[in-house]
A = this chain, B = another copy of it.
């Protein structure tokens, strides 16, 4: 396979603007009740009308981001506003915590047990405030961000089922998402808050969650970073670890921190060595660090977000380090991904493949897949390929 950078950039641009964005514009807007349908069948038909705050917020973010960074198209801003209005009207309880799910009309279905609803809401409102100049959205983004920092050490609050103290664990997900979120919100945070937050993310992700010998990230560790020999403690989520690495690469690039960029690239590569399915290709969803059976029955499935996040991470790592292994892995994952996930018959991408790479669920959107990972990755990969087309990768010595 020979991939040229300008062709790649064009491939990503065409998929983003000619396929994926129009698919969501056409099928996902609820003109009656506001907000977005995300449960879309293969052909875009709505098969369920519940509204999940993660996905409502992520779609607001995506359209705002395209407006801000790619092109100020009025229709994109209008789509973002369509979702932002629904979110602000229905998304929060009386304490300012974000529900997990709403029904079609916006009535709350699932309590704010999940702090990631708040993370995606803050990300959405910040990007939307940048696009729209809406001060209320800006204030709510900032308030939600501070709320997240306040709840950070007990993210599940009263909904936590763990007995305190028997086996305390901390999760990669929160410092990882805060790395991305803090960069997103930098424009509205004071410098001290911002620097403190990204210091914390770098310190925790590399200091607590990284298995220093194998260079893969653990999903859960003891509060001091010790490995814990339990189902949760042994859990490895390769896609999650790789996604975390491009979040940290973004921070490290901003700071000119070459050591962290190199380390993140190491982790991406060693995670791929561990997580790649030698039999069928593709990246496993979950693994047990000791090779025991994982608890997750879906462990061997091939998920869209795992693969597109890996493409982003590899292109960023390649541009910034010039390592040929990054490019070799990029070609391999690119070939696997583009051959299986896009749906030429009906547009957009499949989300869930079996281990063997067959379509497991023919949906284009559901409770967890919305207008987010695919278009974000298409946008980011396009930008990386444009940069690489303009200048060869940096080679660090």
- Cβ of B293 and Cβ of A362 under 8 Å apart? yes
Q: How many angstroms between the C-alpha atoms of A363 and B47 in the bound complex?
A: 36
- Whether, in the assembled complex, A4 has its beta carbon less than 8 Å from a beta carbon of chain B, the answer is no
By a CB distance below 8 angstroms, the chain B residues around A163 are 99, 107-111
By a CB distance below 8 angstroms, the chain B residues around A158 are 158
- Whether, in the assembled complex, A204 has its beta carbon less than 8 Å from a beta carbon of chain B, the answer is no
Q: Which of B47, B161, B290, B366 contacts A110 (CB 8 A)?
A: B161
Known A48-B230, A231-B48; judge A161-B297 contact (CB<8 A): no
- Whether, in the assembled complex, A167 has its beta carbon less than 8 Å from a beta carbon of chain B, the answer is yes
Q: How many angstroms between the C-alpha atoms of A293 and B366 in the bound complex?
A: 8
Q: How many angstroms between the C-alpha atoms of A100 and B295 in the bound complex?
A: 16
Q: How many angstroms between the C-alpha atoms of A298 and B352 in the bound complex?
A: 11
By a CB distance below 8 angstroms, the chain B residues around A41 are 292-293
- Whether, in the assembled complex, A355 has its beta carbon less than 8 Å from a beta carbon of chain B, the answer is yes
- Cβ of A367 and Cβ of B162 under 8 Å apart? no
Q: How many angstroms between the C-alpha atoms of A292 and B49 in the bound complex?
A: 13
- Cβ of B161 and Cβ of A161 under 8 Å apart? no
B-facing mask of A166-196, CB < 8 A → 1, else 0? 1100000000000000000000000000000
Taking CB as reference atom, which chain B residue is nearest A300? B360
Taking CB as reference atom, which chain B residue is nearest A113? B161
By a CB distance below 8 angstroms, the chain B residues around A362 are 293
B-facing mask of A287-322, CB < 8 A → 1, else 0? 000101111011111000000000000000000000
- Whether, in the assembled complex, A338 has its beta carbon less than 8 Å from a beta carbon of chain B, the answer is no
Q: How many angstroms between the C-alpha atoms of A159 and B113 in the bound complex?
A: 10
Q: Is the interface of A mostly helix, strand, loop or mixed?
A: loop
Chain A, 200-252, CB within 8 A of any chain B CB: 229-231
Taking CB as reference atom, which chain B residue is nearest A100? B161
Least distance between A354 CB and chain B CB atoms (Å):
7
- Whether, in the assembled complex, A348 has its beta carbon less than 8 Å from a beta carbon of chain B, the answer is no
- Cβ of B301 and Cβ of A297 under 8 Å apart? yes
- Cβ of A292 and Cβ of B110 under 8 Å apart? no
- Whether, in the assembled complex, A325 has its beta carbon less than 8 Å from a beta carbon of chain B, the answer is no
- Cβ of B50 and Cβ of A231 under 8 Å apart? yes
Chain A, 359-391, CB within 8 A of any chain B CB: 360-363, 366-367
Taking CB as reference atom, which chain B residue is nearest A114? B161
B-facing mask of A27-47, CB < 8 A → 1, else 0? 000000000000101000001
Taking CB as reference atom, which chain B residue is nearest A93? B163
Listed residue (A48, A293, A300) with the most chain B CB atoms within 10 angstroms of its CB: A293
Q: How many angstroms between the C-alpha atoms of A211 and B109 in the bound complex?
A: 24
Known A293-B363, A295-B366, A295-B367; judge A162-B111 contact (CB<8 A): yes
Q: How many angstroms between the C-alpha atoms of A290 and B48 in the bound complex?
A: 11
By a CB distance below 8 angstroms, the chain B residues around A299 are 361
Give 14 new A-B contacts, CB below 8 A, not counting A47-B290, A110-B161. A41-B292, A41-B293, A48-B229, A50-B231, A108-B166, A110-B162, A111-B161, A113-B161, A294-B361, A295-B367, A297-B298, A298-B298, A299-B361, A354-B355
- 14 pairs of residues in contact across A and B, judged by CB atoms under 8 Å: A41-B292, A41-B293, A47-B292, A107-B163, A107-B166, A110-B162, A111-B163, A113-B161, A293-B363, A294-B361, A295-B366, A297-B360, A298-B298, A300-B360
Residues of A participating in the B interface, judged by any CB pair closer than 8 Å: 39, 41, 47-48, 50, 99-100, 103, 107-111, 113, 158-159, 161-163, 166-167, 229-231, 290, 292-295, 297-301, 352, 354-355, 360-363, 366-367
